[in-house]
Amino acid sequence: MTSNQGQWHCVTNRGARMGMIAALTLTMGLAAAPYTFIEGKLPEDVQPDGNSIVFEGPTEMLVIDTGRHPEHTDKIIALAKARNKPITAIINTHWHLDHATGNARIRAAYPGAKIYASTAVEGALKGFLIRNVDKAKARLEDPSVPEARKADTRLYLGAINDPANLIPDQPVKGPMSLKLGERELQLHLAKYAATEGDVWVHDPASKTVFVGDLVVVPLPFFDTGCAEGWRQALAEIDKLDFQTLVPGHGLPMDHAAFSKYRSAFDDFTVCAEGSLPTASCVATWMQKGAAFVAMHPDPRYSEEALTYYVDQVLRVPSKRAEYCGK
Ligand SMILES: [Zn+2]
């Protein structure tokens, strides 16, 4: 999910918390997981946090995605403090600020933490991320804007004015592995998918994949997405032998649930690339992705967001060209 406060987020703000009971039906037992899952919240009236994952090694900690709000990031830092081990590595699955704003806070506590990420953020800092700076500054001056929204705006401006904590010092340019004690995490790069460069992580030992916003519940967020590359990334992930998939938003799911997600994704995006009415494509996700839509308390939220993405992103040639690098 992006940090820009465009039309789409006006829609999200009407949404509410995840339907926890429904979500549990797709959740694998996490009791034995060798990592800590910190769920990103989708609170009312403020922007979301992406999920975070914290791995503990023999002498150090590694985190996948750092959230947006200090309250989220502080849970990660508290975990490291409780274990008395420094955070030495941050993996950002992508540059959206609900996944990367917390980098600065973690590095303030652990200055040695290295950032592993795609270099796509460099382009975003010259384009997508700075497009709404003037609007954001105006929002801070507007007395009718609620304080919570202003606080989000300050986080956004703070993050884009601190590029050193977003741009990787360990760029992920293709497959690579990262050792944490005996554990070897495999990093992969998907080009032109949810963003221009999405990093996803495979932990073969625990048969888990951490895919950031390549999978989002209740629906994929196309704010900076390229359907074609994204389908390829999901196909590559589906080939792997894994039991649990941790999405960028929403609760972990098993491989069978992911395969359903992928199938719904393919049908929805192929529909958007064709000439059927928008409502048909929206209905495709609402039916084939019904298990995911049900995890949000308000199905109208999914319908409105899907309609927006078909009409305002997937069927806009200039956006397809920009997000698909063409
Ligand atoms: Zn996100």
Q: What is the pLDDT of residue 43?
A: 75
- Supply the CATH number for residue 258's domain: 3.60.15.10
Calculate how far, in angstroms, residue 1's C-alpha sits from the geometric centre of ligand 1: 3
> Coil, strand, or helix at residue 255?
helix
Mean pLDDT for the stretch of residues 12-38: 51
> Comparing C-alpha atoms, which of 116, 80, 83, 79 is closest to residue 99?
116
The whole-number average pLDDT for the span 36-49 is 89
In a domain, 29, yes or no: yes
- Better pLDDT: 148 or 9: 148
Q: What's the whole-number average pLDDT of the chain?
A: 91
What distance in angstroms lies between residue 30's CA and the mean position of ligand 1's atoms?
Answer: 22
Average pLDDT of 174-178?
A: 97
* For residues 43-60, average pLDDT: 92
Domain housing 167: 7-323
Above 70 in pLDDT, residue 95? yes
Is residue 30 over pLDDT 80? no
Q: How far is the CA of 221 from the centre of ligand 1 (A)?
A: 8
Q: How many domains would you assign to the chain? A: 1
CA of 184 to the centre of ligand 1 (A): 25
Has residue 31 been placed in a domain? yes
Do the domain assignments include residue 2? Answer: no
Mean pLDDT of 22-26: 36
Evaluate whether residue 240 is within a structural domain: yes
Residues 189-209 as b/e (b if ≥16 CB within 10 A, e otherwise) read bbbbbbbbbbbbbbbeebebb
Residue 5 pLDDT: 32
Give the pLDDT band of residue 32 (cuts 50, 70, 90). Answer: low
The reported pLDDT for the residue numbered 3 is 39
Quote the ligand 1 centre to 38 CA distance (angstroms): 14
Residue 72 CA to ligand 1 center (angstroms) comes to 13
Query: Does residue 160 surpass a pLDDT of 50?
Result: yes
> Does residue 278 register a pLDDT over 70?
yes
Map 237-272 to HEC letters. HHCCCCCEEEEEECCCEEHHHHHHHHHHHHHHHHHH
Q: Is the pLDDT of residue 23 over 60?
A: no
275 is a domain residue = yes
Mean pLDDT across 167-187: 97
Q: Are 72 and 52 in contact (CB under 8 A)?
A: yes
Q: What is the pLDDT of residues 194-245, one digit of tens each?
A: 999 999 999 999 999 999 999 999 999 999 999 999 999 999 999 999 999 9
Q: Output the pLDDT for position 326.
A: 86
Q: Is residue 1 part of a domain?
A: no
Res. 41 pLDDT band, cuts 50 70 90: confident
The 10s digit of each residue's pLDDT in 242-259 is 999 999 999 999 999 999
Residues 223, 214 contacting (CB under 8 angstroms) = no
11-15, 99-103, 234-238, 309-313: range with lowest mean pLDDT? 11-15
Looking at residues 268-287, what average pLDDT do you find? 98
pLDDT at 26: 41
Question: Distance from the CA of 279 to the center of ligand 1, in angstroms?
Answer: 25
